[in-house]
Amino acid sequence: MIDTDAVIVGAGPCGLFQVFELGLLGLKAEVVDSIRKPGGQCVELYPDKPIYDIPGIPVCSGEELTEALLKQIEPFNCGMHLGEEVSVVRKNSDDSYSVETSAGTQFHAKAVVIAGGVGSFQPRQLRVTGAENFAGKTLHYRVQEPEQFAAKSLVILGGGDSALDWVLELIDVAGHITLVHRRDEYRAVPASVDKMRKLVADGKMDVVENAKATAIDGVDGSIKSITIQPKEGEPVDVPADHVLVFYGLAPKLGPIAEWGLDINRKTINVDTERFETSEPGIYAIGDISFYPGKKKLILCGFHEAALAAFAIKQRIEPGKKVHLQYTTTSPIMHKRLGLTD
């Protein structure tokens, strides 16, 4: 059980800045995100796309903004739990929260901040008959225990960074790998594609391009083979012990929709004083929050994070006045930032 002041759901720009604002007030945070790296949709959807409306920064990419925010929060030593999805949020008798993730990580927190952007990124599913019978057993949308694939025959579906990254990471673990891609052009970084092609040329793996999976054969959750249909020619049954699917991620509200909050379509209603949801102690900032006049801009999310931090400080220390201090002159702020002893 990890004891903390706040659990932040979402490691995008607003979630990372929330760590900073809480840290300035002396509060500890743990961050949880369903994707495997920080940055949220900035990194997942447009890492190289220029952003022009961050105050004081004429232009930066999503990747550069994320790197700068990670640097900014270094003094606060927050926990970062990536590739995990918050599955349980339970209110305790003392108004604190017990939070648990899909990986079994447990937190005891005084507040929860939802900074989930457009929602948690859920893997796009393999749409073939009976696929659900193997999901979570021998059909995988994310890898949590690579060692389970030792000496096994793997079929990896996809042509992006995730698919190629796992091909390269598992090539010395698995018994054999077959990569199947719907096109012959890849969305992965060229260096990864070059490494994969060399492995194919060296006879260490197989690749099937311009083809898609159309059926899975197996019994009791165990896959025996997967049928691959090329654009031209007859379908081929490829033996497989496990199938890994990396068709990309789609944003969905996910488990948040089950937390009993006041949902407004795919957003969460908040007040504009504390950015608290209908559930006291749970806050929402960034694109997932909604209030009259809401604008889905990163800079607006930064403002929301600042006000939410003050509200959380007041919640945790209800008998104390929360004084506004400036990072320019405050000795307390300088100490928290690691600028002085």
* Predicted confidence (pLDDT) at residue 254 exceeds the cutoff of 80: no
- pLDDT value for 118: 65
The whole-number average pLDDT for the span 283-309 is 96
Sorted by where each begins, the domain ranges of the chain are: 2-121+250-336, 125-247
- pLDDT value for 64: 94
Are domains 2-121+250-336 and 125-247 of this chain identical in fold? yes
Residue matched to tokens 């990194």: 43
Are 29 and 19 in contact by the 8 Å Cβ rule? The answer is yes
The whole-number average pLDDT for the span 182-198 is 94
How sure is the predictor about 145, in pLDDT bands with cuts at 50, 70 and 90?
Answer: confident
The whole-number average pLDDT for the span 241-270 is 85
- pLDDT value for 248: 81
- pLDDT value for 69: 97
Which among 249, 232, 341, 15 has a CA at the least distance from the CA of 7? 15
Percent of the chain with pLDDT over 90: 81
* Predicted confidence (pLDDT) at residue 77 exceeds the cutoff of 90: yes
How far is Cα 68 from Cα 37, in angstroms, rounded to an integer?
14
- pLDDT value for 45: 64
Buried/exposed 227-257: b ≥16 CB within 10 Å, e otherwise: ebeeeeeeeeebebbbbbbbbbbebebbbbe
Are 230 and 204 in contact by the 8 Å Cβ rule? The answer is no
Are 280 and 95 in contact by the 8 Å Cβ rule? The answer is yes
The whole-number average pLDDT for the span 188-215 is 96
* Predicted confidence (pLDDT) at residue 340 exceeds the cutoff of 70: yes
Looking at per-residue pLDDT, the higher value among 142 and 288 belongs to 288
* Predicted confidence (pLDDT) at residue 249 exceeds the cutoff of 80: no
Q: What stretch of H or E contains 108?
A: strand 106-114
How sure is the predictor about 120, in pLDDT bands with cuts at 50, 70 and 90?
Answer: low
2-121+250-336 topology per CATH: FAD/NAD(P)-binding domain (3.50.50)
Looking at per-residue pLDDT, the higher value among 120 and 136 belongs to 136
- Would you state the structure tokens that stand for residue 225, as one six-digit string? 């083979």
The pTM assigned to this predicted structure is 0.68
- Which CATH number describes the domain made up of 125-247? 3.50.50.60
Least confident of 38-42, 207-211, 231-235: 38-42
